[in-house]
Structure 1
Amino acid sequence: MNRRTLTRIALFVALAAAIALAYAYRGLLNVAALESWVKSAGALGPLLYMAVYAIATVLFLPGSVITLAGGALFGPVWGTLYSLTGATAGATVAFLVARYLASEWVHRKAGGWSKQLIEGVEQEGWRFIAFVRLVPLFPFNLLNYALGLTRIGLLVYVVGSYVFMFPGALAYTYLGYAGREAVAGGAGLIQKGLLALALLSVVAFLPRLVKRLRGAAAVTANGKISSAELKQRLGRRHDDMFVLDVRAAQDYSGPSGHIPGAINVPLDELPRRLSELKPYRDRPLAVVCRTNKMSGKAVQLLCETGFKQALLVEDGMVGWQRQQGHALPAGQENTCAAMPVPGSASAGTGKTITIIIQNAPYKGDNKAWHALRLAGAALVEDMKVRVHLLDDGVQLARRGHPVPADAVDLEKLLAELMECGLEVRACGMALQDCKLDRRGLIPGVQPGSMTALAGWVKDSDVVLTF
């Protein structure tokens, strides 16, 4: 065990012992005792008061009592200044202690939801500080230590805490001042009491202000952004927003157009081209496709590989074109736009239908085409739709399959339906017979088995074979 580890253990034990001792003798900290200490210190009274406030914050002692005492001792103006300075000093010490003791360990061990939580706090930065300081719903003393486990900058933390704790400090300090005046029988008691209540009311309604302050960062925390918000942010001169278009190259440069300045990396090429996006790892990166199924997969991949601000453009290029005041060109309108979006409140709440396709695409009977048309209609009716490809039907999953003249491009149709929630599996044995591996499949198609198909059939309301 190295010296640094031993120092951390010793500091932790000392801090724990001090907190336990402070808790045992917490009754000694009251307004009368604090007034006596401050008066006995003479000119150094304000410094003693701020030091006591800072120590109390570190040791989990209630700060409200000290704030009220500050108003009674120093009046509303100086009392607010001293209370705020003492509270911020104590919060900073707690923040630094937590960062020294456990920040590195937490970042090494964090994973899953805990990692996402920490990264979300770090991305919001000062806005998160504003939220937790303005809204009195979070335990102040514990929060100071918790924030030290993140990588929020020290300056952001200190300045943010000082600024956004001011309303609460002013309200409680003035309440202490008004209470002292009431006991002393000072003039204007009614007015001072009403002002104290008004200040407390302002603090109670601060969550509404916080909602405005968080602005676009709330979108970042949710991982989503609308095309309207994207257009607004791209129009700001100093907004560091970039756009990643994961459509195929022909769609990006085709009649449907693209967002000016967007980076085009097709979804199937994204895993091997992540290094090209390294400059955008810590910047807001809006991911767009036709709608949001394929772009959702891209966002998930980016988040898993360390991109901290990957945002899903919920309504995709369809929404973007509408924001520009025109629809997609004829024949290019996304047929999935009217279908339920996967993950929405209504998606998947209808019946379940399994469609088995055994016929190869582009045959004279067009059974594969009719099957996909039925799948699209079922999605519109809010059904949960699954397609299993058997025998010659696995050819439907082949990427780059030649399209006969005057025929519908079934590869494109299948990809669009998968964007809208269609789940597609191809029989593994049939894939082997056709010498098709995963690299040759349309992105989104998964290998399947007869056992998996049996499970689908068992829990389906409707089963159809083409």
Structure 2
Amino acid sequence: MEEFLEQSYLFIEKAGWLGPFFFVLLHIFRQAFFIPVLVICLIGGYLFGTLYGSIYSVLGLTAVSVVFYGLIQIFPGIRGKLTRLKHRFLKDKQDLNLAQMMVMRLMPFIHFHLVSLYLIETTKNVREYTKKSFYVSIPPAIAYTAFGDMIHELPLAGTAIFALFLVLLFVLMRKRETRISWQEFFQTKNT
């Protein structure tokens, strides 16, 4: 993996004006090499700076989401495995809003495609899915590109504090409504 990253870095650096295109492709192919989003965004920040690295990372992450959408349609077995993971993590009790999904994408220990699967299940078509995927990709692209070195080099205690902060944000941004079915509301007690 390290050799692949080094070669990719050199290739993109020497590509000139095609560098951004190859960087977006690197985002798409990173999943085949099990490279975390954080690492690719760090490379983008180093190569293109915070502004352009963030823009290219948002485009790359959105492209990955669209490719994932297509793969889910072709290989339903992948969807089944991720659905089981989603059930373990979310327990079918959460209606996540866009802000919560943005925070989830920021959390490095949450699988990238778990959020993508949730988006697929809560959108009506590929256009709406792509739009929401674009929005949800903005926070990790900016944070990992701009502050990736700081996040990556934090000591264990700093990483734990940052993770707790993200969990706190996730909880504070949840929907605050309760849905009660008609039968539950008017349920009679048998005595």
**TM norm. shorter chain > 0.5:** yes
Is it true that 1:129 corresponds to 2:101 in the alignment? yes
- Give deviations 1:264-311, integer Å, cap 9, x for gaps: xxxxxxxxxxxxxxxxxxxxxxx523xxxx26xxxxxxxxxxxxxxxx
- 2:137 is matched with 165
- 1:102 is matched with 76
Name the amino acid aligned to 1:143.
Answer: L
For residues 120 and 81 of structure 1, the distance between their equivalents in structure 2, rounded to whole angstroms, comes to: 34
1:75: how far off?
0.8
CA distance change for structure 1 residues 209 and 157 in 2, over 3 Å: closer, same or farther?
farther
Is it true that 1:84 corresponds to 2:58 in the alignment? yes
For residues 149 and 165 of structure 1, the distance between their equivalents in structure 2, rounded to whole angstroms, comes to: 15
- 1:215 is matched with 175
For residues 155 and 118 of structure 1, the distance between their equivalents in structure 2, rounded to whole angstroms, comes to: 27
CA distance change for structure 1 residues 124 and 71 in 2, over 3 Å: closer, same or farther?
closer
- 2:121 match: secondary structure: coil
**RMSD between superposed Cα atoms in Å:** 3.9
Is it true that 1:288 corresponds to 2:185 in the alignment? yes
- CA contact under 8 A between 2:105 and 2:115: conserved in structure 1? no
Structure number with greater Rg is 1
Compare the two structures and name the one with the higher strand fraction. 1
CA distance change for structure 1 residues 138 and 64 in 2, over 3 Å: closer, same or farther?
same
- 2:36 is matched with 62
For residues 148 and 215 of structure 1, the distance between their equivalents in structure 2, rounded to whole angstroms, comes to: 16
Name the amino acid aligned to 2:69.
Answer: F
1:85: how far off?
1.5
For residues 172 and 158 of structure 1, the distance between their equivalents in structure 2, rounded to whole angstroms, comes to: 21
- CA contact under 8 A between 1:49 and 1:82: conserved in structure 2? yes
CA distance change for structure 1 residues 158 and 132 in 2, over 3 Å: closer, same or farther?
farther
- 1:93 is matched with 67
Q: Which of 94, 110, 115 pairs up with 1:138? A: 110
For residues 120 and 140 of structure 2, the distance between their equivalents in structure 1, rounded to whole angstroms, comes to: 25
Identity %: 23
Is it true that 1:205 corresponds to 2:102 in the alignment? no
- CA contact under 8 A between 1:126 and 1:156: conserved in structure 2? no
1:145: how far off?
6.6
Name the amino acid aligned to 1:78.
Answer: Y
Is it true that 1:29 corresponds to 2:1 in the alignment? no
Tell me: higher relative CO, structure 1 or 2? Use CA pairs within 8 A at least 6 residues apart.
2
For residues 129 and 155 of structure 1, the distance between their equivalents in structure 2, rounded to whole angstroms, comes to: 18
1:49: how far off?
0.6
For residues 174 and 167 of structure 2, the distance between their equivalents in structure 1, rounded to whole angstroms, comes to: 10
Which sections of structure 1, spanning at least 5 residues, go unmatched? 1-25, 180-192, 225-242, 247-286, 296-414, 423-466
For residues 64 and 18 of structure 2, the distance between their equivalents in structure 1, rounded to whole angstroms, comes to: 18
CA distance change for structure 1 residues 208 and 159 in 2, over 3 Å: closer, same or farther?
farther
Name the TM-score, length of structure 1 as normaliser: 0.32
1:54: how far off?
1.6
CA distance change for structure 1 residues 73 and 130 in 2, over 3 Å: closer, same or farther?
closer
1:215: how far off?
1.9
For residues 102 and 149 of structure 1, the distance between their equivalents in structure 2, rounded to whole angstroms, comes to: 13
- CA contact under 8 A between 2:106 and 2:140: conserved in structure 1? yes
- CA contact under 8 A between 1:35 and 1:69: conserved in structure 2? yes
Name the amino acid aligned to 2:57.
Answer: S
- Give deviations 1:349-391, integer Å, cap 9, x for gaps: xxxxxxxxxxxxxxxxxxxxxxxxxxxxxxxxxxxxxxxxxxx
- Give deviations 1:19-64, integer Å, cap 9, x for gaps: xxxxxxx34322x323311122111111111111122136543222
Alignment coverage as a number of residue pairs: 176
For residues 37 and 56 of structure 2, the distance between their equivalents in structure 1, rounded to whole angstroms, comes to: 12
